[in-house]
Amino acid sequence: MFVLSQHAEVRAKQRGLRRDDISFVCEYGTQTERGYIFTEKDAAQIEAEARDLIMRAARLRGVLVPVTEGVMKTVFKATHAQQRQIL
């Protein structure tokens, strides 16, 4: 966690950047001697991870893992009727 100087806060506001944006760059950007920079490569990596997550969510939609006393009993794709009954 970094402290934002008053100068940096003013400049960020002038440039339309929020504290969240600055934190994002520091978390996902590339660290250099001068600080952090969010590169095309950094953006492409996040986009690829997001695509993978979206594809996994679509593939796993409707999967049910029944759990009893901390034990996973089985796994299957629930029908719409089963989903309505459970929810």
CA distances to 50, 57, 61, 81 from 53, rounded to whole Å, are 5, 6, 12, 26
Q: Which two tokens stand for residue 35?
A: 């600080």
pTM, to two decimals: 0.74
Q: Indicate whether 1 pLDDT > 80.
A: no
Please enumerate in sequence order all residues whose Cβ is within 8 A of that of 18, keeping only pairs 6 or more positions apart, or say none. Answer: 12
Side-chain half-sphere CA neighbours of 66 within 13 A: 9
* pLDDT of amino acid 34: 96
* pLDDT of amino acid 23: 95
Q: Which two tokens stand for residue 73?
A: 């009993």
Mean model confidence pLDDT for the chain: 96
Q: Which two tokens stand for residue 86?
A: 């459970």
* pLDDT of amino acid 77: 96
Q: In this predicted model, what pLDDT tens digit does every residue of 41-69 receive, in sequence order?
A: 999 999 999 999 999 999 999 999 999 99
Position 2 confidence tier, pLDDT thresholds 50, 70, 90: confident
